[in-house]
C-alpha cells in the first residue's frame, strides 16, 4: 500500500518561536482546510502553488521494485494498482523473446518485467526533460500518463510474443490485419473497466477521458480516424505544444524510445550479449527543440556515436538472437503446432461463448487467459484442464480450457515433442531481399 505524507513547511525563523506562536501557526491549518472544503481526495489534488500558499507539502510515497536491470525503482501507487490486475499479471506468463528461450537458456524473462522497466524509464526521461527545460510546462499529470503508457504498451501481446503475429495469424486468419498495439489498447480499456480504475485515476488528478486518450495515443498512435486527411494535429490527448511527449514510449518518428532502451539492456543481460548503448547518457544530453514547427526530442551532435551504438545493438540482437536460424526454425514449428491445434482449443469467454487461439483476440475476457501455457496444454495430457477464472473474485469458480482429445492433437503434439527432443526442421538455405522490404514487412518481424 502507498502512503500519503502531509508535512508542514515552516518559515526560516521558526526556531525562534515560542510555544504560543507555534500553536497559533498550527491552529490556522484546520481553519484553512474547513474554509476551502479540503477533504482527503482534494488534498492529493492540490497544486504545488496551493500547497506552498498553505505552508504544507503533500507527498505520495511510491512502492519500490527491485529490478535486475535498473536496480531499485519506485512506481507510483496508480501504476501498482494497474500491475495488481489479472490483465497485467498475465504478462508474467508470456516470454519476452518467445522461442529464443529454446536457443538461449538465459532468455527466460517475460513481458511483465519489461513493462515495468519501460514505465520506469519513461518516467525518468520525462522528469529529465522537465528538470532541464521548465519552459516546456511538463506537469505531474503528463509524467504520470507517460508512465502508464510505458507500463501498458505490451498488454496485448499474444503467447510467444511476435511469433503468433507474424507466423500464426496470417495463416489462421488470412486477410486479417492485426498488431499487438491494437490488442494493447483493447486490453487497456478492458483493464480499466473491469477493475473500476477510473475513480482511482481521478483520485490521482488525471482528467478523464482526455488522459485516457493521451495514454492510448502514446501506445498506438492517433486514435482519430481522420488523421492524415487534412487534420493539422491528429492527437486529442495533448496539443501540438507537447508533441514531444509522444516520442518517449513509442517514437513513431525515428524509433528512438524507452521501449527499445529497456529491451536492449534487458535482452542483452539475459542473453549474455554486450550492450554498449548507454540510455542514461542519452537522457542527460537530450533536449526538446522545435523543428519544422513541431517540438521534437533531439540529441547533441557529439552524441551521434552513442546513437550508433544503439542501432548497432539492435542489429546485433537481430543477428545473434531474434533472427537466429535455429530460433526461426523453432518458431515455425511452434506456429505449425498451434495451427494444427487451433480448431480444437476452446476457451470460455464472456457470456459463456467459446473461443480458440485465433479468435481469442475478439474477446478480452478470453484473451486474458491466453498465455504461453498453451504450449504445455497441447504437449502434456490430459488435453483438458480447469483453471481459476482470473476475473472472478470467487476463487471457487472454474473455467474449462479444452484442447481436444488424443487424436485431434496428435499431430500438434508430435511437432512440439520434436522441439523438446531438438529434432528440428532442417534449414535448406537462406535468401536475401531483392528489393527493400516494405514498412509492413519490417513491422511484422520487428521485436
Report, as residue numbers or ranges, the catalytic residues: 180
CA 318 to chain centre: 21
Under 8 Å between Cβ of 191 and 88? yes
CA dihedral sign of residues 188, 190, 195, 196: positive
Under 8 Å between Cβ of 372 and 160? yes
Nearest to 118 by CA among 279, 273, 323: 279
Cell of 392: 472472478
Q: φ and ψ at 66, to 5 degrees?
A: -95, 105
How many other CB atoms are there within 10 angstroms of residue 281's CB atom?
13
Instruction: Round to whole Å and give the CA distance between 233 and 227.
Output: 8
Under 8 Å between Cβ of 242 and 133? no
Nearest to 360 by CA among 185, 172, 175, 181: 172
Residue 194, classed as helix, strand or coil, is helix
Residue 65, classed as helix, strand or coil, is strand
DSSP-assigned states of every residue in 127-156:
HHHHHH-GGG---HHHHHHHHHHHHHTTTT
Amino acid at each position: 500500500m502507498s502512503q500519503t505524507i502531509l508535512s508542514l513547511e515552516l518559515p526560516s525563523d521558526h526556531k525562534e518561536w515560542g510555544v504560543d506562536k507555534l500553536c497559533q501557526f498550527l491552529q490556522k491549518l484546520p481553519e484553512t482546510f474547513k474554509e476551502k472544503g479540503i477533504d482527503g481526495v482534494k488534498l492529493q489534488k492540490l497544486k504545488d502553488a496551493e500547497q506552498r500558499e498553505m505552508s504544507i507539502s503533500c507527498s505520495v510515497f511510491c512502492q519500490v521494485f527491485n529490478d535486475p536491470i535498473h536496480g531499485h525503482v519506485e512506481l507510483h501507487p496508480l501504476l501498482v494498482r494497474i500491475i495488481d490486475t489479472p490483465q497485467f499479471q498475465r504478462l508474467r506468463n508470456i516470454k519476452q523473446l518467445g522461442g529464443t528461450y529454446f536457443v538461449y537458456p538465459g532468455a527466460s524473462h517475460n513481458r511483465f518485467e519489461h513493462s515495468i522497466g519501460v514505465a520506469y524509464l519513461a518516467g525518468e526521461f520525462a522528469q529529465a526533460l522537465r528538470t532541464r527545460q521548465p519552459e516546456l510546462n511538463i506537469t505531474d499529470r503528463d509524467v504520470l500518463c507517460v508512465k502508464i503508457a510505458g507500463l501498458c504498451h505490451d498488454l496485448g501481446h499474444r503467447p510467444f510474443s511476435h511469433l503468433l503475429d507474424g507466423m500464426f495469424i496470417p495463416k489462421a486468419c488470412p486477410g486479417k490485419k492485426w498488431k499487438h498495439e491494437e490488442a494493447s489498447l483493447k486490453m487497456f480499456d478492458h483493464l480499466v473497466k473491469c477493475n473500476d480504475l477510473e475513480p482511482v485515476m481521478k483520485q490521482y488528478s488525471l482528467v478523464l477521458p482526455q488522459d485516457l486518450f493521451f495514454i492510448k495515443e502514446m501506445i498506438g498512435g492517433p486514435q482519430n480516424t481522420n488523421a492524415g486527411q487534412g487534420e493539422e494535429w491528429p492527437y486529442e490527448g495533448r496539443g501540438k505544444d507537447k508533441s514531444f511527449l509522444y516520442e518517449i514510449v513509442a517514437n513513431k518518428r525515428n524509433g528512438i524510445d524507452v521501449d527499445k532502451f529497456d529491451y536492449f539492456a534487458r535482452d542483452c543481460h539475459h542473453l549474455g550479449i554486450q550492450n554498449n548503448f548507454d540510455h542514461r547518457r542519452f537522457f542527460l544530453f537530450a533536449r526538446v527543440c522545435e523543428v519544422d514547427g513541431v517540438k521534437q526530442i533531439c540529441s547533441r551532435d557529439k552524441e551521434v556515436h552513442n546513437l550508433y551504438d544503439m542501432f548497432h545493438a539492435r542489429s546485433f540482437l537481430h543477428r545473434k538472437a531474434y533472427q537466429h536460424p535455429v530460433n526461426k526454425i523453432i518458431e515455425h514449428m511452434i506456429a505449425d503446432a498451434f495451427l494444427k491445434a487451433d480448431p480444437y482449443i476452446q476457451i470460455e469467454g464472456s457470456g459463456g461463448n467459446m473461443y480458440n487461439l485465433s479468435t481469442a483476440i475478439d474477446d478480452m475476457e478470453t484473451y486474458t487467459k491466453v498465455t504461453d501455457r498453451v504450449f504445455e496444454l497441447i504437449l502434456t495430457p490430459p488435453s483438458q484442464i480447469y483453471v481459476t477464472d482470473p476475473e472472478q473474485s470467487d476463487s471457487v469458480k472454474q473455467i474449462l480450457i479444452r484442447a481436444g482429445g488424443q487424436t485431434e492433437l496428435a499431430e500438434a503434439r508430435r511437432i512440439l515433442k520434436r522441439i523438446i527432443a531438438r529434432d528440428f526442421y532442417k534449414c535448406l538455405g537462406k535468401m536475401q531481399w531483392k528489393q527493400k522490404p516494405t514498412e509492413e514487412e519490417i513491422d511484422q518481424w520487428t521485436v
